[in-house]
Amino acid sequence: MLKSCDTMVAIPGTTTDHQMIFAKNSDRPAIECQPLVQHERKSHLAKAMAKCQFVQIPQTPTTYRHVGSRPYWCWGYEHGFNEHQVVIGNEGLQSKNEEFDSPKLIGMELIRLGLERAKTAAEAVEVMTGLITKYGQGKFRNDQGVRTYDNGYIIADPNEAYVLETAGHEWAVKRAQSAIGISNVYSLEKDWDTLSPTAVDGSKAHGWWSGESNRFNFAEAYSREADRSVGSGAMRRLRSCAVLNQYSGDINVQTMMALLSDHSDGKTPNEPFQTNLPHGSSICIHHNDDGGGGNTAASIVAHLCADGSQLPVYWCSLYSPCLGVFLPMFIEGDLPSVLAIGGEYLSDDSPWWLFRQLSLAVRANGADSIASVRAGWQDFQDSLFASAYEMAKEGKTLIDQGRGAEAKKHLTRYMDENVAVMLGMVRQMLSDARTATEIAAD
């Protein structure tokens, strides 16, 4: 199964408070744990190399402080953010390229490299496209069992957002002009702003582009899907674009969270978002036993800030958003280290594995149990909305006053307290759900 994901961005003109909001659901194989890790800013020696999984590339003098949502086995991330408010998320794409024999970068590694090396979205685009041209990415043979694919990205900072789509060593970039979503389908057709130097000639050489049309069509030349309006990825992209368009001018963090938790597969007619599109897959792909196998492993809604009035707030969900909670994270503090725990096998000290167990237990119990867990999170989520923006303002004031160390302590303690509450709640909900299962079985 090709991985499925959805990434969205609402640029300043489309949001209620005129700030950039970025959102992503990371959909991965059902039992692939995806912890949340933080790395400090680091200086590197002149001849150091960045050791990615299959290729090594020259290291940069400084890698920036950043946070990434990381499949447990991977050096790279599904999404992440850095100390300069650069946020990046990716999508799996299928190009016409045959599998390469030579090793390349993994698409998720490019996210980390962009976060480590860029102070703005435009800089991240430059870093990532430079690396793609030189080292390539996409489908390549490997003996480590890593599923490889081409990638699409949204790269945002407080002022600008870009869509970057790739095929092997080729790429196209477009600056976002409205609130948009991307999914597992190429979206840059003739409307690109910049192309890789060999995108046109390379596709002509393969016979994928005749050169007759007056403007090169990147998706037509490189997409394996000839019809990019059908299939799950196409339906999810149309749906996120339609909803964002419908709410344009009035989009806030809650809109994005609701969209990430959307179940528009036709089984739930009371969905908050209604469009006149045919029902396709949900945006939220929680694990279910009726065949899918994929699962939204983690989500983010990044609420950036261009005017310096507050700190950016990164709302992170550690499992499927429809049965969990979005916790506010502040990169100016130290993220609770428990969030980074989790590996290949089930462990009760890993928040990700706790949420997975909760999800399975609750779904086995049925609709009432699902409703009770959602209601259980709602009060906590509401209290977080209230406290997070106070913290965002207080933290910014302290930093502006040169009291950075105090701000860091304050924000760290706030995140620790929230995670402790969340872990207590998830353990209690899990215990309740298991008791309910036992009662039903008696």
Contacts to Zn ion by CB under 5 A:
284, 286, 320, 322
Give the pair of three-digit tokens for residue 119: 């102070």
Nearest distance in Å: CB 266, Zn ion: 14
- Chain position carrying tokens 């959805």: 6
Going by C-alpha positions, the residue among 297, 321, 357 that lies closest to residue 108 is: 297
Residue 187 or 317 having the CB closest to Zn ion: 317
Give the pair of three-digit tokens for residue 404: 């950075």
Residue 88 or 322 having the CB closest to Zn ion: 322
Q: Are 344 and 72 in contact (CB under 8 A)?
A: yes
Residue 285 or 304 having the CB closest to Zn ion: 285
Residue 203 or 281 having the CB closest to Zn ion: 281
Give the pair of three-digit tokens for residue 61: 């003098």
Nearest distance in Å: CB 112, Zn ion: 27
Nearest distance in Å: CB 403, Zn ion: 41
Spatial distance between the Cα atoms of 242 and 222, rounded to a whole number of angstroms? 25
Nearest distance in Å: CB 214, Zn ion: 44
Question: What are the angstrom distances between the C-alpha of 441 and each of 357, 364, 419, 434, 437?
Answer: 18, 12, 33, 11, 6
Going by C-alpha positions, the residue among 254, 284, 243, 258 that lies closest to residue 6 is: 284
Spatial distance between the Cα atoms of 387 and 266, rounded to a whole number of angstroms? 36
Nearest distance in Å: CB 288, Zn ion: 9
Spatial distance between the Cα atoms of 407 and 81, rounded to a whole number of angstroms? 19
**For the chain, what is the largest distance between any 2 Cα atoms, rounded to a whole number of angstroms?**
71
Whether 5 is catalytic: yes
183: DSSP letter: B
Q: Which of 5, 33, 284, 322 is catalytic?
A: 5
Residue 217 or 320 having the CB closest to Zn ion: 320
Q: Which residues are the active-site residues?
A: 5
